Structure 1
Amino acid sequence: MASRQITQETFDTVVQENITEFEMEPDEAVNEAVQQFESQGVDLSNIIKALPKPAGSDENDRTHEILQTLDSLRKSVDLSALSEMGDHLLHFSEQCKQGMAYRFLAAQKFAYPVVLSAWKLALGDQDLMMKALYAMSSLTDGQPDLLEPVGQQLLVKTLGENVSHAEVTLVGIRIIRHVCLKHEQNRQDLVKSGILPLLTGAMVKHGSDAEVVREACSALKIMTFDDDIRVPFGHAHEHAKMIVMENNGLKVIIETAKGFMNSSSVLSELCSTLARLSVRNEFCQEIVDLGGLNFMVALLADCIDHQEVVKQVLSAVRAIAGNDDVKDAIVNTGGTDLIVLAMNQHISNPQICEQGCAALCMLALRKPENCKVIMEGGGALAALQAMKAHPKEVTVQKQACMLIRNLVSRMRDFSQPILEMGAETLILEAQAAHRDCDDVAKAALRDLGCKVEFRELWTGQKGSLAQ
């Protein structure tokens, strides 16, 4: 695995040497440099693999175009030349979109304070401010560490003062999404600054704008992530509670969804966010009380051919089934039959198989009557078919084993029919292939009545801890 790093200047120097000393053509020189560094274990993911362009009349004075644009932008900001600044911001945004390596190089050359200054200068001019927002959105994509307190305050201020402007709201929320993904401190700081009511408010104010709704919903969902490996404990649960209890998040999402029944991409995002917010028993029940369950069941039936929608609906059903009363409500609305239908129709999709098995697993937990409905509806057979279809997918194997275990733990009469479907062989294969499946496989085999060898890891005997 590549781990060594080099600077853009080092790469560019080697490319230039290939051209001048070995008389290579530019493309050949770049390819040779790439091969040379990769053979040495150098990570080139943040390196622009292209020959810099001449900065002026001197052919030897070369620099990458994004840095030339940044330099022009910096000069226009220093001179407060607003008419020129707009064009430079647009060009800078387009060049940032060429890839992470371009954004990384720009950030290294202090692009963030330049764009931030341009944003401040543009506050009185909405058209110019939009160009600055687009530039900041492009620059921060994949680089959340760039944001600092002044930028946080400016972001919240801009959104708060432009709640009626759909495009400002859209790009501002996109910046939030970029700076909060994999960055716990930014999430916490922005939540403290009052970003949550701005996000839910945007969904209400612009409830018919698909792009704004999708971005706002995605940003709310990111606030519930725990994806920053630098932080031992995040505030994901607290943020989810705040979205629901202080900002009426569940009602906002469910009401908004009713206006997008023909938009699978928006509905997928809404369902995905509902799943992230189902962190407490009462929240799961509130989703049902607000009509969210009926909406999801209808959505699953109507969009059974749309894989992304199906996956997100199954994920949401799995999440709200953590409430025992909601389990019964899901079964009573015919949810189990639709889950099995979705799994059978998309048996080649491992994510749908995983989420389907997980949802059925939750419905079966501590609910013998639900187990009967799942068995009669073909749930066990669908899970075993998923295991056959995806032998290398540990998550599918694990969830299927857990489902089988839940089906028979309180309904031993189901053991023989499930064994006759070939369950024992499939579970043993999963156990042998995946170390993470060992415990759940043994539990399933034990409750099926199969012979299981349990190994005592420690008995508390033989010797003392004292030296």
Structure 2
Amino acid sequence: MAIRLLRHGSRQPANCEEIGNAGGIQAVVNGMTKHESQVQIQEIGCCALWSLSCNNTKNNKRLREAGGIEASVKAMANNGEHLGIQLQGLQLLSSISYNNKQNSKKVGEVGGIVVIVKGMIKHQDHAGVQESGCCVLGHLLEHEPNSNKIREAGGIEAMVKGMSKHEGNRDVQYEGCCTLRDLSGRDLQTKQKIRAAGGIEAFVKSMTKHSNDHDIQEECFWALRNLLEDDDECKKKMRDKRIREAGGIEAIVKAMCKHLDESDVQEQAAHALGNLAFDNDNKEKIRTAGGIEAVVRGMRRHGKDEDVQKEGFWALRNLSYNNEENKKRIKTAGAVKAVEQAMKEHEDLKRKGEKILDIL
């Protein structure tokens, strides 16, 4: 009853401070610890701790020092089948780990990552669990060593599976894309794990299904950009083929056309096409998908944006290299004029522009 009252009282921000000052957080944790077998107390306790700590720096610290992280992780571990406890626990851990290295570190140290992943696997069909699970794993990356823990706990596979199960759910897709994008920019082992888990296909599906969503497009571009970076030529060819066969090139070009006014989309998309254009089969695919025209349009629309121009140069250079058909198409699309204009606007790009014009 006391925990329930504290939960209700914590709905008012002003009350949260008073409850924290009066030792209310410690009282909730003590109650959860004493009554571990009482499912209702565990659920209400997680909810109360979430309400008390949400957007409250002092209470975040109090919760950590009172053993609240351990209590909530234990509640989730002991009640894996209980949907309510999983949801409340995930929301609590997500809230306290956001931009908080100490709390993120603590969650990892007490086994929270393994518990989170198990909950996601157990409740694969529940979009809320998948969304919150992806979100909290992303927040936990605030503490660098958690990246390895997520990989080793099967977190990458769980997120990819969650995205595949809920293709039409925008929030699941966005949170999954964000966290996997962050992970894709880290070590080689993690990149390989994302690829092996079907991450490339998941990103392409997300881009295709949510083609009007600028944020999802940007996150997917970043992720694919990271995953395209590899020193192993054999693996690179296999990866390029997977992106091509999954419809990734068409998805990228479509996004460029739909989000012409978004400079970040144009920048990331042009870079991705430039990377893919190292492969001869991809050169052909990009041309037939209208990728050359899309790159030139993006450069024209964002003539003042040096990053868009630089990535446009990158794409045009690689698309035109040793490919006469692409050279003709690039000229017809008006690329020469776009490159010349970019050279006038951006002094730093002059030499790169001259090289492209020489190739053409």
Letter in 2 for 1:121: G
How far the C-alpha of 1:445 sits from its partner, in A, is 1.5
The list of structure 1 runs, each at least 4 consecutive aligned residues, that deviate by more than 6 angstroms after superposition, is: none
Aligned partner of 2:113 in structure 1 is 196
How far the C-alpha of 1:175 sits from its partner, in A, is 2.0
Aligned partner of 1:317 in structure 2 is 224
Equivalent position SS for 2:10:
helix
Aligned partner of 1:215 in structure 2 is 132
Q: Is the 8 A contact 2:228 2:239 kept in 1?
A: yes
Q: For 2:243, which of 330, 335, 339 is the aligned residue? A: 330
Aligned partner of 2:141 in structure 1 is 224
Q: Which has the higher contact order (CA 8 A, sep 6+)?
A: 2
Aligned partner of 1:121 in structure 2 is 31
User: 1:448 and 2:360 equivalent?
Assistant: no
How much identity, in percent, do the aligned residues show? 21
Aligned partner of 1:178 in structure 2 is 95
Q: Is the 8 A contact 1:300 1:313 kept in 2?
A: yes
> TM-score under structure 1 normalisation?
0.63
Letter in 2 for 1:326: R
User: 1:262 and 2:168 equivalent?
Assistant: yes
Q: Distance in 1 between matches of 2:269 and 2:189?
A: 23
Q: Distance in 2 between matches of 1:184 and 1:128?
A: 28
Q: For 1:431, which of 346, 353, 357 is the aligned residue? A: 346
User: What's the Cα RMSD here?
Assistant: 3.3
How far the C-alpha of 1:431 sits from its partner, in A, is 2.5
Letter in 1 for 2:73: V
How far the C-alpha of 1:211 sits from its partner, in A, is 0.9
Letter in 2 for 1:198: V
Deviation string for 1:13-42 (max 9, x for gaps)? xxxxxxxxxxxxxxxxxxxxxxxxxxxxxx
Q: Is the 8 A contact 2:6 2:48 kept in 1?
A: no
Report the structure, 1 or 2, having the larger helix content.
2
Q: Distance in 2 between matches of 1:257 and 1:374?
A: 27
Q: Distance in 2 between matches of 1:163 and 1:395?
A: 47
Q: Is the 8 A contact 1:284 1:321 kept in 2?
A: no
Cα pair distance change 1:256/1:109, threshold 3 Å: closer
Aligned partner of 1:389 in structure 2 is 301
Give the greater-gyration-radius structure (CA): 1
Q: Distance in 2 between matches of 1:425 and 1:142?
A: 51
Cα pair distance change 1:393/1:206, threshold 3 Å: farther
Cα pair distance change 1:144/1:215, threshold 3 Å: farther
Q: Distance in 2 between matches of 1:445 and 1:395?
A: 14
Aligned partner of 2:233 in structure 1 is none
Letter in 1 for 2:146: H
Cα pair distance change 1:207/1:418, threshold 3 Å: same
Q: Distance in 2 between matches of 1:309 and 1:336?
A: 16
> TM-score under structure 2 normalisation?
0.79
Number of aligned positions between the proteins: 340
User: 1:158 and 2:66 equivalent?
Assistant: no
What 5-or-longer segments of structure 1 have no aligned partner?
1-81, 97-101, 226-233, 433-437, 451-467
